[in-house]
Each structure stands twice: as C-alpha cells, then as structure tokens.
Amino acid sequence: MRAPGTHGSDARPTYPWPVRIDLHTHSVASDGTDAPAALVAAAARAGLDVVALTDHDTTRGWAEAEAAVPVHGVALVRGAEISCLVDRMSVHLLSYLHDPEHAGLLEEGERTREARLQRARAMVDLIAEDLDLTWADVEAQTVPGTTVGRPHIADALAARGHVADRSAAFATVLAAGSRYYVPHYAPDAAHAVRLVRAAGGVPVLAHPGALVRGRILSDEAIGRLVDAGLAGIEVDHRDHDDAQRRRLAGIAAEAGLVVTGSSDYHGAGKPNVLGERTTSPEALEAIEDQGRLPVVRP
C-alpha cells in the first residue's frame, strides 16, 4: 500500500500504526446481511483502516461501497470471492483489484450465478415436499442482483419458523449430506486463477484449510494453483486450526506467496466479527502492486 503522507519507498508512513486491514467480507450483494455502505460504516466502527468487499461471484456491491469510503474514512479493496471446484470439491478463490468488466471473468461469474439460482430453486422444490416453503420466501431474503446461496434459503426457513437461524439450517436441512442438497456449476479453480490474472486481479485462495465434507485441499492441489498463478493464501481464518495455519504458512513461504488474514464477515448471518483476523500492511502492499485497480482511499 502506498501510505498516505509519504514520498518515495523509504519514507515513513505518517498514519498511526498498526494499520488494521480485513480483506474478506460479504454484503447483501451475496450472502451478507449489511448493505455495502452499511458494511463500510461497520468497518469504521470496528476500528478498521482498510476493508475488502468480496461478495460471492459478483462486483455489484462495489459502487455503493466506494461512495461510502469518504463518508466513513475507511479504505476499500474491491474484490470478489469466486466459487470454484477442484475434483468436485467446492473451493473459494478471492480476487482483488481486478477489472470488473473483463469479459472472461464476468461470463464465468454470470454462469455460476445462474447455476446457483437454478440450484437454489431445485433445493426449494425438494424442501417444499416436506416443509412449508416457497420460492417467494427465498426471494424475500434477497435484493435485486443478489448472488443466491444456501444462506438465503436458511433465512427463509428461519422466517417460516422451521429453524432458529442460519447455523441451525446448515446443520440440518441445508447440510451437504442432506437429501435436499443439490450441487451447482462452478469453474475449475486453476482456470479461475488464470482468469483472475487475465483480468488484472490478484488471486488469493480463501480458507483452504477449512473442512468441506471432511475434505481439505491437498498440498498437491494448492501446488497446481500456484503453477496457474496464485498470488496468496488466506492463512488466518476462523475455520483453520493451528495445524492448518502452520501448514498453509509453510506452503506460502516456500512458494513466495502473500499471506492474508480476514474475518469472512457476513453481517448477522454468521458469528464472524469484522477485524477478528487481519492482514499486514506489507501483504496489502504486495497485493496492490499486483492489481490492476488501486485501493480506494478516503
């Protein structure tokens, strides 16, 4: 990050240290519960200096979040969290500072969003065989353009009184092993890494040490993404235990990757708190150096 109030690379930054940077959050453009502007306001209240907006498969929240930057005095990293697959396992790839109009990346995002929509409808059809739930209930939990996901079905189930909250829905009706679960299309992760780079973005693997149906991304699978152009790994995340953090930090050090830490905040949709994990200013500087777009500063 080019620090405010400095001239040249060895000048000392004049703002107070440590800078607090959270590089992974969601708004109502996907499965968060804060509007983008409200998310920037919440970041300011949480004492953050920099926040990244990384909605699933969309950049629709960027404009509103950008407009909130001067209001709340928090810098914004424009990003997205791209749904991917590795050997049919769901993997998430963060993209930072990419051209939001790059045709290849945009087309993949829209294809995934359409597949998510059809998949959500299919899940609701299955659920409706047993529980009182309609597609309108799910739509009521979204705004126009939202990337639809299981969290919106969870909110609809909660609104109908079938479950207490999202966590309860994911533990039962929406679990990956549930009879109502339907998978959806997503691009291969190595392809997505190459697309992000082609769009001038900085690809960072999101929470790769989190268990997905009892599986974790292997060293070999991560190595293939490094070969495709991966820039970094989200090492510090609440879904990683100490052993995973050590393993991932080792892979990152060996491959010369940027290491990030983030909250994966979803507003009221998850217990994750803004700033509960953070990224170093040096890591953000490395990301900004590789990205097409600048960080939006107050």
Peptide bond connecting 271 to the previous residue in cis, omega within 30 degrees of 0: no
Site for Fe ion in 25-54 (CB under 5 A): 31
| The entry of Fe ion, Zn ion, ligand AMP, none that residue 209 binds, CB within 5 to 8 Å by partner kind | none
Q: Under the rule (CB under 6 A), what is the footprint of ligand AMP?
A: 31, 149-151, 166-167, 170, 266, 269-270
Q: How far is CA 266 from the centre of its chain?
A: 9
Site for Zn ion in 54-113 (CB under 5 A): 81
Q: In the stretch 204-233, what mask flags binding to Fe ion with x, by CB under 5 A?
A: --x---------------------------
Q: Using CB under 5 A, which of the segments 3-11, 24-32, 121-129, 252-260 binds Fe ion?
A: 24-32
Q: In the stretch 189-208, what mask flags binding to Fe ion with x, by CB under 5 A?
A: -----------------x--
Q: For Fe ion, how many residues bind (rule: CB under 5 A)?
A: 3
Q: How far is CA 125 from CA 154, 164, 279, in A?
A: 14, 21, 41
**Residue whose CB is less far from ligand AMP, 151 or 275:** 151
| The entry of ligand AMP, Fe ion, Zn ion, none that residue 55 binds, CB within 5 to 8 Å by partner kind | none
Identify the residue among 31, 234, 236, 264 touching Zn ion (CB under 5 A). 264
- Decide if residue 31 touches Zn ion (CB under 5 A): no
- Decide if residue 92 touches Fe ion (CB under 5 A): yes
Residues of this chain that bind Fe ion (CB under 5 A): 31, 92, 206
- Interface residues toward Zn ion, by CB under 5 A: 81, 264
